[in-house]
Chain A
Amino acid sequence: MSWNDILSLLRISLHAMVPIVLTAVGEIIGETAGLFNIGLEGILLISAFGGALGAEIGGPVVGLAIGMGIGAVISFVFALISTYGKGTQMVTGIGINLFAMGFVAFGLIALGAPGFRDVPKVAEVAKWSTPMGAMSPMIIVALVMPFVIYWFLKRTRAGLILKAVGETPEAADVAGININIVRILAATAGGVLAGLAGAYMSVAWMGLVTKGLSAGRGFIALACVVFSGLNPLLALLGGFIFGLFQALAEWIKTLPSKPIPSQFVSMLPYIVTLLVVSGAIGRVRFPKALGEPYKRE
């Protein structure tokens, strides 16, 4: 393994890390306030699709903005159902995923291209040339965002309110905080990040949309959240580990000798996720009211 190999491996893992970290950090905001959204996979998929279409029309910035908007809208609807609708969050999430799979596959076919749609080069977020090769500026966003959210959750009044709403909604309610509104705001803000992650995949990273573009990244982000115990900084670390393993899988596939079948390499990130989660879970604690709609006694 040469120095160049290591650099390119690092470059690929940093790129693969971005969607996982952004989605995970967004989900951390929502889960701190008590909403558990397993529809992240669907949000990634739809915002990747919408972001690509937006980029074709108005350039990369519009693409990313539309992705964020889509993420916000879907998460807003999810939060509305989970708070005022008193819905089962797990089922709502499953519904979002099913809907997204159909919506994107249908949209791709209805717009003419069966299976995939390319994003024109001019509409992609320009990559910076660095000594390591072409790097997307979005990597910086993914590196900085966990610190911003960490500061927000631990050091600001609003962050404490989120925590109170997730831990003891009864007490927060008595203190005059509107539980449902706080939860909706938190989930929507988190959705913006998930939408950005989705748009990043199509507009900045891969330059195309397929019906299977998200490839389980929403679920990996969920695992990453579990691994992090709702600490955005650990989510960054977890996201990097998952990105690294995806890069390794791709890298081993290109080796001429093929030391192991590529299917086993592709399995690796999921096995690692399981190992990490089953090892880490002993010490992490989650908000008491996570996943429960708040009902005033």
Chain B
Amino acid sequence: MTEQQGRSESRLLRGAHRTLTGLHPVFESLLAGVVGLLIGALLMHLYGFNPWKAYIALFRGAYAGSYEIASSISRAVPLILTALTFSICLRAGMFNIGAEGQLMVGAAAAVCVALFALPTGLAQIVGLLLAAVAGAIWSLVPAFLKLWRGVHEVISTIMFNWIGRWLVLYLTIYVLVDPARSERSLSIPLNARLPVLVRGTDLSYGIFVAVAFALLIYFVLWHTTTGYEVRAAGLNPSAARYGGIRSKRTTLLAFILGGMAAGLAGATIVMGLRPAYAIYGGGGLPQLTNLGFDGMAVAMVGRNHPIGILVSALFFGGLNAGGRVMQFYGSNPVPLEMVRIVEGAIVLAMSIPELVRIFPTVKREGERFIGLLRRASLKARKGGDSS
């Protein structure tokens, strides 16, 4: 073998190694997905369901045909956006778990479009803009509380989730209420709705809003100086500060973009998800609840990357769409809530970077502990002898 051959071979190996390490996150996400599904299966088994049949029903309901896939994508739309909310702030080094409240406020703002008579096209744009602005405002208050008063964003965004929920409930019942039907808000007028994209399914033009925003975030974060600063501040805040990056600006930018995404998510639901086209107040805003938290799961599995999020949202959207089929599946109707158990288990598995390495450590520490006990008992016995 000549020297050149050897060199090219080692380059090949290095390339393969690099690809493998590059794929490592993908494997980790897949592993977490499998762990989540297994835990779900275990629980279903314990409660007397047949997990195998349930998952077959679920995945058939999610991906078996064009209708199913379109439904899955329609469920993925708000998840893409709320996942972006979480990810962009995490990229900037902060935990914005306020997508839940920002989404509700955005939805209420989008309903305001029903108050004006606007031509088609303009109406959609105004509705989306209102929602984005409302979401951004709801997100900015925690950002300012963090910058001015040092309030941790986890605490403030959680509080704003609850305040937002009650505010939107109030608006739905008293201000934006449909005079004819007191249980819901005004309905988005026909010409202001996001049109259905695939006839007979729930999939609307909202998917374009979500994908466009994901691409926008990708472009901003990886192809602009400001985005570079946001990521630098997230990776190492003190180094970024020494490097002249103004962390206040990156914080505000991340929260504004995140809030806009969550607000838009609310808009895609009230403007684009048939048959409601309005906010229902009964039972505490059921259509708008938990999408923010589900978005965090999507973001984690998507490795907080806009493109990863698109893929992972399709998976979680499929879980949700398929779960709706699963719960009515003949002899084995598993409640839809199963899906959230799987999501929680997936997030738990995602949070453990050393999932595989945990076992030897437990064994080693256990042996150390037993050794300590043995020595202590030996000492006690010796003490007893000498007395």
Contact = CB atoms under 8 A, between A and B. Distances in A.
Interface of A: 38, 42, 80-81, 84-88, 90-92, 94-103, 105-107, 109-110, 178, 180-181, 211-212, 216, 219, 222-223, 226, 261, 263-264, 266-267, 270-271, 273-274, 277-279, 281-282
B351 A91 contact: yes
B338 A216 contact: no
Contacts of B293: 94, 97-98, 101
B347 A98 contact: yes
B173 interface: yes
20 contacts: A84-B354, A84-B362, A85-B355, A86-B352, A92-B348, A94-B296, A95-B348, A99-B344, A101-B340, A106-B43, A106-B47, A106-B340, A110-B49, A180-B365, A261-B174, A267-B166, A270-B163, A278-B149, A281-B151, A282-B149
B341 A106 contact: yes
A39 to B, nearest CB: 9
A89 to B, nearest CB: 8
Nearest to B360: A84
A212 B300 CA distance: 25
Given A180-B365, A263-B169, A87 B343 contact: no
B354 A98 contact: no
B137 to A, nearest CB: 16
A220 B118 CA distance: 43
Q: Is chain A's binding surface mostly helix, strand, loop or mixed?
A: helix
A88 B354 CA distance: 11
Given A99-B345, A181-B365, 17 more contacts: A87-B351, A87-B352, A90-B154, A91-B347, A95-B349, A98-B340, A99-B347, A102-B339, A106-B340, A110-B47, A110-B335, A178-B365, A226-B155, A267-B167, A271-B163, A273-B155, A282-B149
Interface in B284-300: 284, 290, 293-294, 296-297, 300
A102 B365 contact: no
B166 A95 contact: no
Nearest to A99: B344
Given A95-B350, A98-B343, A106 B335 contact: yes
Interface in B82-123: 95, 97
A136 to B, nearest CB: 25
A216 B157 CA distance: 12
B362 to A, nearest CB: 7
A277 B151 contact: yes
B8 interface: no
A38 B365 CA distance: 27
A226 B152 contact: yes
Nearest to A219: B158
B365 A100 contact: no
B162 interface: yes
B170 to A, nearest CB: 4
B344 A103 contact: yes
Interface residues of B, number: 57
A94 B177 CA distance: 34
Given A84-B361, A109-B335, A216-B158, A98 B166 contact: no
B50 interface: no
A80 B353 CA distance: 12
Contact of B297 (A98, A267, A274, A282): A98
Contacts of A94: 97, 293, 296, 347
The 6 closest A-B pairs by CB, nearest first: A99-B344, A102-B340, A95-B347, A98-B344, A95-B348, A102-B341
A98 B100 CA distance: 13
Contacts of A88: 351, 353
B189 to A, nearest CB: 26
Contacts of B152: 226
Given A271-B163, A274-B151, A282-B149, A85 B348 contact: no
Nearest to A77: B348
B354 A85 contact: yes
A29 B43 CA distance: 31
A85 B356 CA distance: 9
A264 B175 CA distance: 14
A87 B159 CA distance: 25
Nearest to B355: A85
Contact of A91 (B149, B151, B350, B361): B350
Contact of A81 (B97, B300, B341, B352): B352
B354 A101 contact: no
Interface in B2-48: 43, 47-48
Nearest to A265: B166
Nearest to B156: A274
Given A102-B343, A270-B163, A223 B170 contact: no
B145 interface: yes
A266 B351 contact: no
B337 interface: yes
A44 to B, nearest CB: 14
A90 B95 contact: yes
B353 A38 contact: no
B170 A264 contact: yes
Interface string B316-358: 0000000000000000000101111111111111111111001
A87 B357 CA distance: 12
